[in-house]
Structure 1
């Protein structure tokens, strides 16, 4: 068996990533070896594989759903936005260029060869490859050189399942329009639909599903119910901050409130997932100084544009609020880009090319950006516990503890009183260290908060992946999915006007 399927979506955030993960988990439960694949990902949430390659966090999560180790072939092209019209291009885990939207397009023909080579490699080693599209498959202004959606599907003859998000409304128009705007060569590969995030009695939806099938000649292969708490390793900040995240009542007497400045170029926001999974820890996102006022801990997260996001932090007044907290002895944690912002100076002739700018000056550190990106998976000790993490950064932090009696080393960074900084992502996923850190925070704030002694974040993630597999097993037409994976696109699918008259520019 060497099957494959492309999961596309009517929009960004329709649920492609979680549906792909759910299909991977369902398949591996059937004894099938399966790998996820996303040809081109645009995300600042990334991870480092065992061999030092950088890929999207979503593909790492999907690999976990498939119970395989993540690798560069699963996400051969990663675009990391750094400004309004610039992105870093990462190919097979290594940065190769900084591009604008227009300068990137001439690169895509060569990248399609790389993408198809990676897909072929995975198909040779796994029974099934579940591919995830990017954005919408009907971006008609981009179709001519597409490598992530229908360009990939037509080149590799992949059957396509289109996911629609009913929670945002207009799902029937979105599903029908997605097919209708495609040229014939693309339409013939779209085998069916999947409705995602449904709330209510599915019988109320049946007349619409039947009419959609009549209009398109394609079945709906499942209606997945709304299920909260499944935003594992999201690709971007779409939807972040809509609601506070908390795992429930505290183990001790009080909750801990964590506020996170919602940086414009926020990266690796998944660092906060482990905190949000801890009972009694409330994680929320802030854009105004007053939203930090009652926080027990402020976390400055990662950033794809440290200097620009530091300027935003100052312009909003959040920087002053963070400085006041530190002066009052209240906890602040900086991670990667957030750690860099806490330094005395930042010298950046690589990313922003701003030269030397002042940092917040809350740690005895200085930062200099290096042309080469650091990609690593370090191991160390902090607060009496073994810690594993991963590093993705150009900024190199120099720690100066001489003459700083109150400062000490902390996970390749520094601690000065109530201010902590580390370049390591993923440190909070280490259960013992996370509990020790939260205990330290509670002590600094005078809270009667006690971390739950048995929170196992790896088990929490595994349980969420099982719930995704259950969604597919219980609410999708798995027999139809098997047929698509084994046999490929069905023959004789009808063409919809005006798509039959449309051809890519």
Structure 2
């Protein structure tokens, strides 16, 4: 089999990342050399490739589904929002500019050649490339300079499958409308649809899908059932509200459950750091936004953020800063990761991201932070509690702590307050269990990790679930034909009321 496919969506969070990963795992298990691709990703959840490039976390997850190490070509353009109006542009793994929405539009034509070169490179090395769109192709206000959806599909002659989330309601109208607003040349590449997150009896949906085919001339390739708590590496914070316990977890040793409260910062990044804690038996993780929600927490986590100084100001405004300081003063455990670690310092001098200059931190660690123009990006390895630890770093802020301060990974600790720049460290199983044992002791909980969970195995099992979804609920033969043969020719063009340019 040789070919490619673009997975588009009726909306953000419709299921594009999940379906792309599922297709990659399904093809990989069949012995097909497959790679994922996303031309442009907007996300503060990122990963580091073996050679030190920064790409979207979802593409690293999809690479794992395909049995591959991630690489920069899989996500040539990554946008990391620092505010509602500006983002950092990461091109082939390296930051190159800070842009507004308008100035980015001026940059996009220059990025298209890099996008197409990256896709061509992957297609030369793999039998199949499964591409993921961004947002929705129905955003026709952005179509003229689009590099991720129909602009990419047209340039690379990719067949397109549109996935819609039926759990939100109105999915049939969204699928019809997505097709209807496109011009004829774009419509010609839309081959069909996939329904995501369906609950109930599929036979009740069948008449709607039959009518959709009558109206559009296009099939629905299958209906994916709603599955709670997949706990996949998230692309953005849209998935946080639906988070729950990881599937298959059991009770820990001891009588108590360990409760973890992770602060949901406005510009939270790399929230997947919490996944390994949530997968640990007997550990309950919840995201919080108010001080009263910290009441029964045994561990408070300040996660990473794309806007350390701005999110620290929010932490103070909502009262969480005072609550965290009071907890630390009482000897109750607090962990800061990357930006959250920087917040725990005495001072933060930032002339790079926020350009706020020197501001006061929470003062819970004997350390000071200075932001430097060059970003630190790389994979890390070390030892803590006598156990091996691996992780990765992505940050501008450099933390300098006082001589004689007790180290913790590359960071430091004071009493029951820990801080580190390492993302992903909690995925190291023995280290995670040792850390949780110390947290439980400091919190006075009768909690003892069971010493059985392999987070790597948990992640692989999740990816297998996605492969099973594709194998069990989609039309495999039709997808094979679509990937290998491209979009069917002669598909009908919808006549709409939008004007003669789309008739």
- 1 CA distance for matches of 2:245 and 2:145? 39
- Deviation string, structure 1 residues 51-103 (Cα, Å, up to 9, x no partner): 00000000000000000110000000000000110000000000000000000
Q: 1:34 to 1:243 in 2, by over 3 A?
A: closer
Other-structure match for 1:387: 389
Match of 1:332 among 334, 341, 354: 334
- Three-state SS of the structure 2 residue aligned to 1:370 is strand
Other-structure match for 1:92: 92
Match of 1:401 among 403, 407, 425: 403
Q: 1:92 to 1:243 in 2, by over 3 A?
A: closer
Other-structure match for 1:187: 187
- Three-state SS of the structure 2 residue aligned to 1:390 is strand
Other-structure match for 1:315: 317
Other-structure match for 1:51: 51
The structural deviation recorded for 1:365 is 0.8
8 Å contact 1:56–1:78 — kept in the other structure? Answer: yes
- 2 CA distance for matches of 1:271 and 1:71? 20
- 2 CA distance for matches of 1:466 and 1:290? 39
- Deviation string, structure 1 residues 102-122 (Cα, Å, up to 9, x no partner): 000011111011100000000
The structural deviation recorded for 1:500 is 8.1
Other-structure match for 2:441: 443
- Three-state SS of the structure 2 residue aligned to 1:205 is helix
- 2 CA distance for matches of 1:309 and 1:394? 15
The structural deviation recorded for 1:251 is 1.6
Q: 1:317 to 1:94 in 2, by over 3 A?
A: same
- 2 CA distance for matches of 1:487 and 1:242? 37
- Three-state SS of the structure 2 residue aligned to 1:251 is coil
Other-structure match for 2:363: 361
Other-structure match for 1:206: 206
- Deviation string, structure 1 residues 110-148 (Cα, Å, up to 9, x no partner): 101110000000000000000000011110110000000
Other-structure match for 1:261: 263
Other-structure match for 1:480: 478
Q: 1:443 to 1:483 in 2, by over 3 A?
A: same
- 1 CA distance for matches of 2:242 and 2:28? 33
Stretch moving more, 239-248 or 277-286: 239-248
The structural deviation recorded for 1:231 is 3.5
| 1:89-128 map, 5 Å | 89-128=89-128
- Deviation string, structure 1 residues 304-353 (Cα, Å, up to 9, x no partner): 00000000000000000000110010100000000000000000000000
2:369 counterpart of 1:371: no
8 Å contact 1:346–1:359 — kept in the other structure? Answer: yes
- Deviation string, structure 1 residues 272-309 (Cα, Å, up to 9, x no partner): 00001011111001111000111000000000000000
Other-structure match for 1:38: 38
Q: Structure 1 stretches (4+) deviating beyond 6 angstroms?
A: none
8 Å contact 2:231–2:246 — kept in the other structure? Answer: no
2:425 counterpart of 1:417: no
Other-structure match for 1:294: 296
2:16 counterpart of 1:16: yes
2:450 counterpart of 1:452: yes
Other-structure match for 2:80: 80
8 Å contact 1:160–1:489 — kept in the other structure? Answer: yes
Other-structure match for 1:130: 130
The structural deviation recorded for 1:436 is 0.3
Stretch moving more, 380-389 or 413-422: 380-389
The structural deviation recorded for 1:243 is 4.6
- 1 CA distance for matches of 2:394 and 2:472? 38
The structural deviation recorded for 1:259 is 0.4
The structural deviation recorded for 1:220 is 0.3
Q: 1:401 to 1:144 in 2, by over 3 A?
A: same
- 2 CA distance for matches of 1:321 and 1:212? 53
- 1 CA distance for matches of 2:316 and 2:12? 31
- 2 CA distance for matches of 1:290 and 1:276? 21
| 1:165-244 map, 5 Å | 165-244=165-244
Match of 1:272 among 263, 271, 274: 274
- 1 CA distance for matches of 2:190 and 2:472? 23
The structural deviation recorded for 1:30 is 1.1
The structural deviation recorded for 1:250 is 2.3
Q: What TM-score, normalized by structure 1, do the two folds share?
A: 0.97
Unaligned runs of 5+ in 1: none
- 1 CA distance for matches of 2:345 and 2:273? 20
Count of residues in Structure 1 that have an aligned counterpart in Structure 2:
500
8 Å contact 2:229–2:242 — kept in the other structure? Answer: no
The structural deviation recorded for 1:401 is 3.2
- 1 CA distance for matches of 2:336 and 2:26? 38
8 Å contact 1:245–1:284 — kept in the other structure? Answer: no
The structural deviation recorded for 1:501 is 4.3
- CA RMSD in angstroms, aligned pairs only: 1.2
- Three-state SS of the structure 2 residue aligned to 1:245 is coil
- Three-state SS of the structure 2 residue aligned to 1:173 is helix
The structural deviation recorded for 1:239 is 2.8
Other-structure match for 2:251: 250
The structural deviation recorded for 1:503 is 4.7
- Deviation string, structure 1 residues 449-497 (Cα, Å, up to 9, x no partner): 1112110000000000001000000000010100010000100000002
Q: 1:139 to 1:502 in 2, by over 3 A?
A: farther
